[in-house]
Amino acid sequence: MSLLTKAYWEGLKNKQRKLKEKIQKDHWRLHYHQMPATGWLNDPNGACQFKGTYHLYHQYVPENPEGGIPHWAHKTSKDMVHFTEEEIFLSPEHSYEKDGVYSGSAFVKDDEIHYFYTGNVKNSGGYDYIFNGREQNTVHAVSKDGFSLELQEVVIKHEDYPKEYTDHIRDPKIFAKNGLYYMVLGARRKDHYGELLLYRSKDLYTWEFHGILLEKKEDMGYMWECPDFFDLNGKSVVLFSPQGLNKKLHQFQNVYQTGFYIGETDWDKIEFQPEASFKELDYGFDFYAPQTFEDESGRRILWGWMGLGDTNAEYVNPTVNHGWQHALTLPRELTIEQGCLKQRPLPEYQMIRKEENRIEANISGEYRNVELTCEVSELLIYFDEVEDGFEIHLRQDTVIRYDKGILSITHGVSGAGRSFRTVKIDKLEQLHIFSDTSSLEIFINDGDYVMSSRVYPDKGKNQVRFRGHAQLRVNKWEIAKTVID
Ligand code: FRU
């Protein structure tokens, strides 16, 4: 028996209809990024390719752009570019998930998709919700088509987690090795350090605690959310979203972070050893809780939430007034090259390029306008030479500046509170910028670094200007809309 009644669903449909009317009129509605059909979106979930079709799910509060109790929305695609909005996939229908179908992942095996997610329960009363008052159950669901469920059951009950942890244990991600299945979970220890737990299974249906995949570290925060673990180009990668890191000069500038360790795994013991320090995945204002999957051609693809919770109103998203909030980044392909993680936009997105402009320019001096505009478009800029202090001004009041090995991004009023972020890059060779109605993603030096941010420029404020000294080659494409009204 579902906890959600017919009246609940009818009420929801009505609220969604009203929100949709507002969204359709919003010029900040994104043209080629995944956003919620209505209301609120956060983490990508359950991403997979099954029998040729890409399935993407995400945390979704259909009736409220300011958040609430999450469901899983569902989108499908044949090409990773054009997506169809499907019916809501999971909703808080059972007592073990009554306060939210939280984040989780998909594991394709033979003719089935196995989903694992966190059933969130928040009891009412005088609880602190860290040590008590909350349950986070690990739930298994099986589907033969990605749309309907054959089975849905709790496989790890909240009370069965090891005793060193608070109530915060969540976001399962599965991998298979040597005929066994493993599940990584993010956790907050009772002594307020983050840690990653490992469970093991012979059949995906029963699970036992196996140990710790990544131990607490002094300067790595109090909670690690949304873990991921995979092999890539002969190395292993552990990726997660830690909370509670201290800000450093050019690192960890947002309220919460996302990053990774590259290392080696002893697969007999399932022991991971990092080889390098923790690195951030994205240096912009809006990036969190990403998830990867391997597609049928063997590519490791990552989607991130182009947003962040708990920004303490330092910055906001004015689309809340238009019935929706947040979006996902473009999907990115990950590789490890010369020991470094590269992130590149999927080449599939070239199919929506329209008119092309090409410019070769020797920029020298003040504000050079180059007959370029940039709104729903893609800019690929190669720097044959660039001097310190070089600036690109784009959209309403965004400035990308290169100075002495630091790339910075500054927004004025169009940033809705977003001010200044930096990344240390040493030299500037290339920028690949994806601009949508209300977003900017900047891939730096062929995917060595990325900065993703939401921006809210007034309509028509879309000129591109250069300032400083540089020798440039620019390709710019208008991009076709992929969303259907
Ligand atoms: C990350 C997160 C996850 C959780 C989900 C709930 O943004 O907090 O840890 O499962 O969001 O929406």
Residue type, 197: L
Best mutation site among 45, 115, 121, 226 for ligand 1 pocket (most ligand atoms within 8 Å of CB): 226
Please determine, for residue 218, whether its predicted confidence score (pLDDT) is greater than 80. yes
For range 65-75, the mean pLDDT: 97
274-301: pLDDT as tens digits:
999 999 999 999 999 999 999 999 999 9
pLDDT the model gives residue 277: 96
pLDDT the model gives residue 485: 65
Q: Whose CA is nearest to atom 6 of ligand 1?
A: 102
423: closest CA among 253, 290, 229? 253
- Would the CATH topology of 6-345 be identical to that of 347-479? no
Phi, psi of 318 (to 5 degrees): -65, -10
Hey, where are the domains in the chain? 6-345, 347-479
99 is catalytic: no
Identify whether the C-beta of residue 399 lies closer than 8 Å to the C-beta of residue 407. no
pLDDT the model gives residue 319: 98
Best mutation site among 102, 135, 137, 243 for ligand 1 pocket (most ligand atoms within 8 Å of CB): 102
| 204 CA → ligand 1 middle, Å | 23
pLDDT the model gives residue 367: 66
Top CATH class of 6-345 equals mainly beta
For range 104-121, the mean pLDDT: 98
pLDDT the model gives residue 137: 98
Please determine, for residue 484, whether its predicted confidence score (pLDDT) is greater than 90. no
Angstrom distance (rounded) from CA 293 to CA 422: 29
**For the domain 347-479, what is the CATH code?**
2.60.120.560
Q: Whose CA is nearest to atom 9 of ligand 1?
A: 225
Q: For the chain, what percent of residues have pLDDT higher than 90?
A: 92
Please determine, for residue 206, whether its predicted confidence score (pLDDT) is greater than 90. yes
Quickly list DSSP for 465-479: EEEEEEEEEEEEEEE
Q: In what order do the strands lie in the sheet with 194-201?
A: 165-177, 180-189, 194-201, 208-214
pLDDT the model gives residue 275: 96
153-195: pLDDT as tens digits:
999 999 999 999 999 999 999 999 999 999 999 999 999 999 9
pLDDT the model gives residue 188: 98
